[in-house]
Structure 1
Amino acid sequence: MKFSKILVGLLITATSTIYAQDKEISLEEIYDGTFRQERLQSLQSLDNGKEYVVLNRDRNANTSSIDVYSYKSGEKVRSLLNSKDLSEISRFQGFELSENEDKILLSTNMEQIYRRSSRGIYYIYDVEGKTLTKLSDNKVQEPTFSPDASKVAYVFENNIYTYDIASGEETQVTTDGEKNKLINGVTDWVYEEEFAFVRAFDWNKTGTHLAYLKFDESEVPEFSMDMFGQDLYPSQQVFKYPKAGEANSEVSLYTYELAAEESEKVELGDYEDFYIPRIKWTQDPEILSVQVLNRHQNDLDLIFVDAEDNETEVVMNETDEAYIDITNNLTFLEDNSFIWTSEKDGWNHIYLYDEDGELENQVTEGNWEVTDYYGYDEDSKKIFYQSTENGSVNRDVYSIKINGKNKTRLTEKEGMNSADFSADYTYFINSYTSTETPYEFTLHNAKNGKLVRKIKDNSALLEKEAAYNFAPKELSTIEVNGNELNMWIIKPNDFDENKEYPLLMFQYSGPGSQEVSNSYFGTNDYWYQLLANEGYIIAAVDGRGTGFKGAAFKKVTQNELGKYEVEDQIAAAKKFGEMDYIDEDRIGIWGWSYGGFMSSNAILKGNDTFSMAIAVAPVISWRFYDTIYTERYMTTPQENPSGYDENSPINHVEKLKGDYLLIHGGGDDNVHLQNTMRMVEALVQANKQFDWAIYPDRNHGIYGGNTRLHLYTMMTDFIKEKL
Structure 2
Amino acid sequence: MHWSADGNALATVEQGQIVKTDIRTGRKTTLLSKDQLRRPGSDQPMAVADFAFTSDSANSLIFTNTARVWRYNTKGDYYLINRANGQVRQLGQSGTSKRPAQSLMYAKLSPDGRSVGYVSEHNLFVEDVATGKITQLTTDGTRKRINGTFDWAYEEEFGCRDGFRWSPDSKQIAYWQVDATKIRDYLMLNTTDSIYSHVVPVEYPKVGESPSPTRIGVVSVSGGQNAVPPTTWLNIPGDSQQHYLTRLEWLPAGGSVIVQQLNRKQNESKLFLCNLSTQAATPIYTETDKAWIDIKARWSRDDPSGWEWLENGKSFVWVSEKDGWRHLYRVGVDGKKEINLTPGSYDIATISHIDEAANQIYFIASPDNTNQRYLYRTRLDGKGKAERVTPAGLAGTHGYTISPNGRFAQHTFTNYQTPPSREWVSLPDHKAVNESESIAARTKPIAKSNVSFFKLTTEEGVTLDGWMAKPTDFDSTKKYPVVFYVYGEPAGSTVNDDFSIGQNRLFQGGMDKAGYIYVALDNRGTPNLKGAAWRKSIYRQIGRINIRDQAMGARKLFAQHAYIDTSRVAVWGWSGGGSTTLHLMFQYPDIYKTGIAIAAVGNQLFYDNIYQERYMGLPQENREDFVAGSPITYARNLRGNLLYIHGTGDDNVHYDNAEVLINELVKYNKQFQVMPYPNRSHGINEGPGTSLHLQTLYTNYLLKYCPPGPR
CA distance in 2, matches of 1:697, 1:271: 37
Partner of 1:656: 638
* Structure 2 residue 619 is the aligned partner of structure 1 residue 637: yes
* Compared CA separation, residues 520 and 716, structure 1 to 2 (3 A): same
SS at match of 1:640: helix
Matches within 5 A, 1:203-222: 203-222=166-185
Partner of 2:96: none
Contact 1:435–1:472 at 8 Å: present in 2 too? Answer: no
Structure 1 residue 101: deviation in Å? 5.3
Once superposed, what is the RMSD of the aligned Cα atoms?
2.0
Report the more deviating stretch, 126-135 or 355-364. Answer: 126-135
Partner of 2:423: 442
* Structure 2 residue 400 is the aligned partner of structure 1 residue 419: yes
Contact 1:293–1:300 at 8 Å: present in 2 too? Answer: yes
Partner of 1:542: 522
Which of 500, 508, 521 is 1:521 aligned to?
500
SS at match of 2:89: strand
CA distance in 1, matches of 2:585, 2:222: 63
Matches within 5 A, 1:290-309: 290-309=259-278
Report Cα offsets for 1:125-177 as digits up to 9, x if no partner.
Answer: 23344332211243211111111111111111111111111221111111111
Partner of 2:148: 185
Runs of 4+ in 1 over 6 A off after TM superposition: 456-463
CA distance in 1, matches of 2:673, 2:442: 41
CA distance in 2, matches of 1:543, 1:290: 34
Structure 1 residue 406: deviation in Å? 5.2
Partner of 2:299: none
Matches within 5 A, 1:28-67: 43-57=1-15, 64-67=16-19
**Counterpart amino acid of 2:273?**
F
SS at match of 1:224: strand
Contact 1:298–1:319 at 8 Å: present in 2 too? Answer: yes
* Structure 2 residue 334 is the aligned partner of structure 1 residue 378: no
Partner of 1:486: 465
CA distance in 1, matches of 2:292, 2:705: 41
**Counterpart amino acid of 1:326?**
I
* Compared CA separation, residues 184 and 458, structure 1 to 2 (3 A): farther
CA distance in 2, matches of 1:679, 1:462: 47
Contact 2:164–2:176 at 8 Å: present in 1 too? Answer: yes
Partner of 1:16: none
Matches within 5 A, 1:214-253: 214-253=177-216
CA distance in 1, matches of 2:84, 2:359: 34
Contact 1:368–1:550 at 8 Å: present in 2 too? Answer: yes
* Structure 2 residue 92 is the aligned partner of structure 1 residue 164: no
* Compared CA separation, residues 521 and 566, structure 1 to 2 (3 A): same
Matches within 5 A, 1:532-681: 532-547=512-527, 548-578=529-559, 579-681=561-663
Structure 1 residue 512: deviation in Å? 5.0
Partner of 1:116: 72
Report Cα offsets for 1:417-442 as digits up to 9, x if no partner.
Answer: 11011121111111000111111212
SS at match of 1:638: helix
Structure 1 residue 74: deviation in Å? 2.6
Structure 1 residue 323: deviation in Å? 0.6
Contact 1:409–1:449 at 8 Å: present in 2 too? Answer: no
Contact 2:468–2:502 at 8 Å: present in 1 too? Answer: no
Structure 1 residue 278: deviation in Å? 1.0
* Structure 2 residue 18 is the aligned partner of structure 1 residue 84: no
Partner of 1:33: none
CA distance in 2, matches of 1:451, 1:290: 40
CA distance in 1, matches of 2:664, 2:252: 56
Partner of 1:369: 347
Structure 1 residue 374: deviation in Å? 1.5
**Counterpart amino acid of 2:500?**
F
Partner of 2:226: none
Matches within 5 A, 1:466-477: 472-477=450-455
Structure 1 residue 523: deviation in Å? 9.4
Structure 1 residue 282: deviation in Å? 1.6
Structure 1 residue 652: deviation in Å? 1.1
CA distance in 2, matches of 1:706, 1:417: 35
Structure 1 residue 118: deviation in Å? 2.4
**Counterpart amino acid of 1:367?**
S
CA distance in 1, matches of 2:695, 2:204: 30
* Compared CA separation, residues 334 and 167, structure 1 to 2 (3 A): farther
Which of 75, 78, 89 is 1:133 aligned to?
89
SS at match of 1:591: strand
Structure 1 residue 707: deviation in Å? 1.2
**Counterpart amino acid of 2:169?**
T
Structure 1 residue 48: deviation in Å? 1.1
Report Cα offsets for 1:213-266 as digits up to 9, x if no partner.
Answer: 111111101111112334222332112100001132111111112346331111
CA distance in 1, matches of 2:699, 2:480: 16
Structure 1 residue 522: deviation in Å? 6.4
* Compared CA separation, residues 175 and 674, structure 1 to 2 (3 A): same
SS at match of 2:72: coil
Partner of 1:30: none
| TM-score, normalising length: structure 2 | 0.91
Structure 1 residue 445: deviation in Å? 1.6
Which of 160, 163, 177 is 1:200 aligned to?
163
Contact 1:219–1:247 at 8 Å: present in 2 too? Answer: no
Partner of 1:263: 231
Report the more deviating stretch, 519-528 or 361-370. Answer: 519-528
Unaligned runs of 5+ in 2: 94-99, 224-228, 297-303, 707-711
| TM-score, normalising length: structure 1 | 0.89
**Counterpart amino acid of 2:2?**
Q
Partner of 1:683: 665
* Compared CA separation, residues 283 and 219, structure 1 to 2 (3 A): same
* Structure 2 residue 414 is the aligned partner of structure 1 residue 433: yes
**Counterpart amino acid of 1:334?**
E
* Structure 2 residue 698 is the aligned partner of structure 1 residue 719: no
**Counterpart amino acid of 1:335?**
N
Report the more deviating stretch, 590-599 or 259-268. Answer: 259-268
**Counterpart amino acid of 1:264?**
T
Contact 1:436–1:472 at 8 Å: present in 2 too? Answer: no
CA distance in 2, matches of 1:678, 1:456: 54
* Structure 2 residue 682 is the aligned partner of structure 1 residue 696: no
Contact 1:116–1:197 at 8 Å: present in 2 too? Answer: no
SS at match of 1:639: helix
Contact 1:251–1:276 at 8 Å: present in 2 too? Answer: yes
CA distance in 2, matches of 1:229, 1:142: 32
CA distance in 2, matches of 1:74, 1:592: 42
CA distance in 1, matches of 2:133, 2:497: 53
Partner of 2:300: none
Contact 2:488–2:525 at 8 Å: present in 1 too? Answer: yes
CA distance in 1, matches of 2:417, 2:440: 11
Report Cα offsets for 1:484-543 as digits up to 9, x if no partner.
Answer: 211000001211111011110011111152211111126944666712212210100001
Report the more deviating stretch, 251-260 or 625-634. Answer: 251-260
Report Cα offsets for 1:68-93 as digits up to 9, x if no partner.
Answer: 101123332x1111232345251232
Structure 1 residue 462: deviation in Å? 6.7
Contact 1:219–1:248 at 8 Å: present in 2 too? Answer: no
**Counterpart amino acid of 1:393?**
N
Unaligned runs of 5+ in 1: 1-42, 58-63
Contact 1:471–1:492 at 8 Å: present in 2 too? Answer: no
Structure 1 residue 586: deviation in Å? 1.4
Partner of 1:173: 137
